[in-house]
Amino acid sequence: MSVKLPIYFDNQATTPVDPRVLDAMMPYLTEHFGNPASRNHAFGWAAKEAVEIAREQVAALIGASPKEIIFTSGATESDNLAIKGVARQYESRGKHIITVQTEHKAVLDSCHALERDGWEVTFLPVDREGLVDIDQLRDAIRDDTVLVSVMLANNEIGVVQPIREIGAICRERGVIFHCDAVQGLGKVPFDVVEDHVDLASISAHKMYGPKGIGALYVRRGRPRLRLRPLIDGGGHERGLRSGTLATHQIVGLGKAAELAAEDLVNGGIDKVRALRDRLWDGIRENLDEVYLNGSWEHRIPNNLNVSFAYVEGEAMMMGIKDIACSSGSACTSASLEPSYVLRALGVGAELAHSSIRFGLGRFNTEEEVDHAIGLIVEKVRWLREMSPLYEMVKEGIDLSSVQWSAH
């Protein structure tokens, strides 16, 4: 049995383009290269038709109507457009936004930008499992609250928020609800109608589509929802996102959305779940003092986020360099701060430094998982032999009683 190295277990960072997606895209780079906005020749018509098919595919994935899909450059742009677009449109109604401490930076930093413009933002805490408290969210809504933004699934720990309940509260209170759905699409059910979502951010490259393309779902119908665009120009996409449509990218997003929807019904995602569970079982059976970060029950099936006590995350990643994964350790970030998501859960700084995220995906195999388990177990044991903390704990020393020299 030979496993091709390195093994890619970082599917929450990005995913490879599915060959079926690439096949769908290719003709729109070569023969059907037209501008979908060219209304008077066959090249434009072919491109326009492909874009509209993709719009239907994306809409079908989330239970929307095609007219409600706005193509963007990716989820960061979608988050910015949703939050700033709502804020600029509705600032006469109030200047208060509610979001959650564990949101993606694209949401948090969009909110911070609005704070500088005089908006007030409530950053709700999460519990030990990473879940937002519904009652706390309900209580945080004020008369001047315009928008609530809560993600479907977290990018680090994969925890799935109770979107349907949040949506119902927002609808009842007349507050606009934005959901960054990027990490959950094709992994857990998501339906904008049943979940009462007004705005949803979508990315292609987290679901086996190309980078550089995403979408924003903007609900139509009553009560009317309007956005102020961020980009001015030719008035594409209902005037919400000017700029020539990237036909091949959009076709790729559409095909990726279609395959993601199939994954949920044809057992595709269950295979990924089985691999993730196999990895976690293999780790737990062979190592002591490994801790799961975030809820197990409310979690996308492709994510595993584990802290290996007494082993620093970046050193661990160097040890298992044949496995591409990521860490919440400060040493892997430019800021030298450990993961803000893990800290929001109340994970201690030591364990945050020791965290590793494994993101399983459609193209991983059992052989890869088994190889990874062997390597992880070997390297954790090796690094623990080198760890003064592990030695102290084995000597019976309580690490919290030690007077550390902070630096």
Burial 344-353 (b: 16+ CB within 10 A, else e): bbebeeebbb
50 within 8 A of 31, measured Cβ to Cβ: no
Of 288 and 297, nearer to another protein (C-beta) is: 288
399 near another protein, judged by CB under 8 A: yes
323 within 8 A of 6, measured Cβ to Cβ: yes
Q: Binding marks (x or -) toward another protein, 346..385, rule CB under 8 A?
A: --xxx--x-------------------------------x
Residue 320 CB contacts under 8 Å (≥ 6 apart), including other chains: 372, 375, 376, 379
- Part of the chain binding another protein (CB under 8 A), chosen from 40-48, 76-84, 168-176, 334-342: 334-342
Q: Binding marks (x or -) toward another protein, 268..297, rule CB under 8 A?
A: ------------------------------
For tokens 């937002």, the residue is: 132
**Can you list the positions of beta strands (E) in 268-354?**
290-292, 303-308, 323-324, 326-327
Catalytically active residues are 331
Q: 318, 322, 374, 394: which one contacts another protein (CB under 8 A)?
A: 318
Of 55 and 353, nearer to another protein (C-beta) is: 353
**Nearest CA-CA partner of 65 in 75, 55, 54, 73:** 55
Q: 338, 368, 369, 372: which one contacts another protein (CB under 8 A)?
A: 338
251 within 8 A of 29, measured Cβ to Cβ: no
315 near another protein, judged by CB under 8 A: yes
Q: 30, 40, 135, 406: which one contacts another protein (CB under 8 A)?
A: 406
The distance from CA 91 to its chain's CA centroid, rounded to whole angstroms, is: 28
Q: How far apart are CA 150 and CA 160, in angstroms?
A: 10
Q: How far apart are CA 159 and CA 156, in angstroms?
A: 8
CB of 351 to another protein, least distance (A): 9
CB of 79 to another protein, least distance (A): 28
Q: 20, 139, 331, 366: which one contacts another protein (CB under 8 A)?
A: 331
Largest Cα–Cα separation, the chain? 80
225 near another protein, judged by CB under 8 A: no
- C-alpha distances (whole Å) from 374 to each of 308, 316, 377, 397 are 15, 14, 5, 30
203 near another protein, judged by CB under 8 A: no
Site for another protein in 233-252 (CB under 8 A): none
388 near another protein, judged by CB under 8 A: yes
Of 165 and 350, nearer to another protein (C-beta) is: 350
- Part of the chain binding another protein (CB under 8 A), chosen from 64-72, 107-115, 209-217, 386-394: 386-394
396 near another protein, judged by CB under 8 A: no
CB of 104 to another protein, least distance (A): 23
- C-alpha distances (whole Å) from 326 to each of 11, 42, 50, 213 are 10, 47, 36, 23
Residue count at the site for another protein (CB under 8 A)?
30
- Part of the chain binding another protein (CB under 8 A), chosen from 45-53, 95-103, 135-143, 327-335: 327-335
121 within 8 A of 111, measured Cβ to Cβ: yes
- Part of the chain binding another protein (CB under 8 A), chosen from 233-241, 242-250, 287-295, 342-350: 342-350
Q: How far apart are CA 343 and CA 95, in angstroms?
A: 28
332 near another protein, judged by CB under 8 A: yes
219 within 8 A of 225, measured Cβ to Cβ: yes
Using CB under 8 A as the criterion, which residues of the chain lie in contact with another protein when the complex forms?
310-315, 318, 329-332, 334, 336, 338, 348-350, 353, 385-391, 399, 404-407
